[in-house]
């Protein structure tokens, strides 16, 4: 079953606009981009062994949805104090195209284009920053980006960010603010994510979509009888993930 087949058409013109919100890592990307960045820094001799191990531990806790994201964000952002935004953006864009772009999920591309064809408002809703996510935003041609906001003065990073980050309850807050500003009807809108930490936003939209779920989100979806989807990079679909029969596809659509 393709990503497009598992979407449902909403034709009710009576209320606000419909939005499709997309998380990034392990949703539109079949990887954790932060891990890819740490690997890049390691290859180029720009990160210590201690800092690498610390980052790996943070990534494990993030995947398990037990990370103190505000504390970690402050520590990470502080490392970039005094960095030129323009120079960092240029470096990250080159890195993204070489190291991360191959991990864009083909089903994610299909789903974005399906929503675009329906006239839905497209939004990347992510705990990342514009520096790390804008390359993906450009590639997928998604007009809106809602993310963690960095503090910038005279084109330089200060080492601070504007709390709360766009994570967990902060992501819900950011999503609600965007919806209010743009006349979005959340009861008719969609949110795609892999992470249990995004449960507040999943519970707020009318069409929650579970993609490549982490263990806690998969258990949460199972308890509610919700279907989830497995998306793959560059259209590589393993043989055991071939589309189900018509009957199974119909059942999955009814539960999504």
Is residue 40 predicted with pLDDT exceeding 60? yes
Please name which of 99, 128, 101 lies closest in space to residue 41, comparing C-alpha atoms.
99
How does pLDDT run across 65-79, given as a tens digit for each residue? 667 889 889 999 999
Full strand arrangement of the beta sheet holding 121-129: 156-162, 144-153, 121-129, 19-22, 190-193, 207-211, 228-229
User: 115-128 pLDDT, tens per residue?
Assistant: 999 999 999 999 99
Which residue is listed with tokens 């070489």? 98
Q: What is the mean pLDDT of residues 11-25?
A: 84
ω into residue 31 within 30 of 0, thus cis?
Answer: no
How many other CB atoms are found less than 10 A from the CB of residue 233? 16
Q: Is residue 132 predicted with pLDDT exceeding 70?
A: yes
Mean pLDDT, range 93-99, rounded to an integer: 96
Supply 215's token pair: 């263990």
Instruction: Give the mean pLDDT of 206-224.
Output: 96
Q: What's the burial of 111, exposed, middle or buried (CB within 10 Å: 0-12/13-18/19+)?
A: buried
- Residues 179-189: what's their mean pLDDT? 98
Per-residue confidence (pLDDT) for residue 14, from 0 to 100: 53
- At 55 the pLDDT is 78
Query: What's the pLDDT at 15?
Result: 73
Averaged over 85-92, what is the pLDDT?
Answer: 97
Q: Give domain 19-255's CATH architecture.
A: 3-Layer(aba) Sandwich (3.40)
Task: State pTM to two decimals.
Answer: 0.84
**Cα–Cα distance, 60 to 67 (Å, whole number):** 9
What is the pLDDT, as a whole number, of residue 243? 39
Name the pLDDT band for 252 (thresholds 50, 70, 90).
very low
Mean pLDDT (whole number) for 119-138:
97
Q: Give domain limits for the chain.
A: 19-255
Give the pLDDT mean for 233-255: 44
| pLDDT of 182 higher than 90 | yes
């Amino acid at each position: 079953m393709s990503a497009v087949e598992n979407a449902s058409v909403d034709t009710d013109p009576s209320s606000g606009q419909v939005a499709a919100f997309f998380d990034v890592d392990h949703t539109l990307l079949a990887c954790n981009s932060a891990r890819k960045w740490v690997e890049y820094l390691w290859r180029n001799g720009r990160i210590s062994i201690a800092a690498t191990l610390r980052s790996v531990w943070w990534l494990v806790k993030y995947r398990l949805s037990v990370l103190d994201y505000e504390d970690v964000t402050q520590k990470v952002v502080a490392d970039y104090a005094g960095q030129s935004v323009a120079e960092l953006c240029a470096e990250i864009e080159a890195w993204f195209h070489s190291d991360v772009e191959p991990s864009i999920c083909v089903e994610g591309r299909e789903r974005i284009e399906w929503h675009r064809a329906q006239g839905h408002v497209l939004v990347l809703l992510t705990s990342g920053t514009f520096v790390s996510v804008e390359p993906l935003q450009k590639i997928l041609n998604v007009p809106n980006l809602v993310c963690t906001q960095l503090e910038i003065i005279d084109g330089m990073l200060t080492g601070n960010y504007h709390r709360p980050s766009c994570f967990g309850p902060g992501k819900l807050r950011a999503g609600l603010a965007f919806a209010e500003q743009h006349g979005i009807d959340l009861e008719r809108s969609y949110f795609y994510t892999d992470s249990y930490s995004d449960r507040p936003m999943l519970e707020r939209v009318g069409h929650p979509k579970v993609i490549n779920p982490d263990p806690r989100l998969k258990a949460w979806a199972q308890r509610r009888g919700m279907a989830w989807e497995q998306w793959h990079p560059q259209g590589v679909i393993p043989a055991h993930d071939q589309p189900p029969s018509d009957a199974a596809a119909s059942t999955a659509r009814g539960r999504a």
